[in-house]
C-alpha cells in the first residue's frame, strides 16, 4: 500500500521547515556579530586617528557625509 499524496506533501513540508538551530541561537549569533563588528569599527577609528592624526577622521567624516 502506497502512502497518499497528502501524507507525502505533509512530510516534505515538515522536513523543509525544520531548521537545525533554534531561533534564539540564531538571534544570539547575529547580536554577537553586530556588536563584534561595531567594536572592531571603533578600534579601527582609534587606530586611524593614532596613525594618521585627527585630520584623517575629519576626511572620513566628510566622505560619509557626502554619501548621503
pLDDT tens digits, one per residue of 32-49: 999 999 999 999 988 888
16-24: Cβ within 8 A, 24+ apart? none
The answer to whether residue 63 sits within a structural domain is yes
The answer to whether residue 46 sits within a structural domain is yes
How many folded domains does the chain comprise? Answer: 1
Its domain, for residue 25, covers 21-67
The answer to whether residue 1 sits within a structural domain is no
The answer to whether residue 51 sits within a structural domain is yes
CA–CA distance, 29 with 11 (Å, rounded to integer): 30
Cα–Cα distance list, 25 to 19, 33, 35, 47 (Å):
11, 12, 15, 33
Query: In this structure, are residues 61 and 67 in contact, taking their beta carbons and an 8 Å threshold?
Result: no
Encode pLDDT of 3-30 as tens digits: 555 555 666 665 656 777 777 777 888 8
The answer to whether residue 15 sits within a structural domain is no
The answer to whether residue 61 sits within a structural domain is yes
The answer to whether residue 4 sits within a structural domain is no
Amino acid at each position: 500500500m502506497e502512502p497518499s499524496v497528502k501524507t507525502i506533501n505533509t512530510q516534505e513540508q515538515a522536513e523543509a521547515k525544520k531548521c537545525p538551530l533554534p531561533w534564539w541561537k540564531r538571534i544570539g549569533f547575529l547580536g554577537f556579530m553586530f556588536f563584534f563588528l561595531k567594536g572592531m569599527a571603533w578600534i579601527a577609528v582609534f587606530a586611524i586617528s593614532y596613525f594618521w592624526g585627527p585630520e584623517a577622521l575629519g576626511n572620513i567624516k566628510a566622505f560619509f557625509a557626502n554619501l548621503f
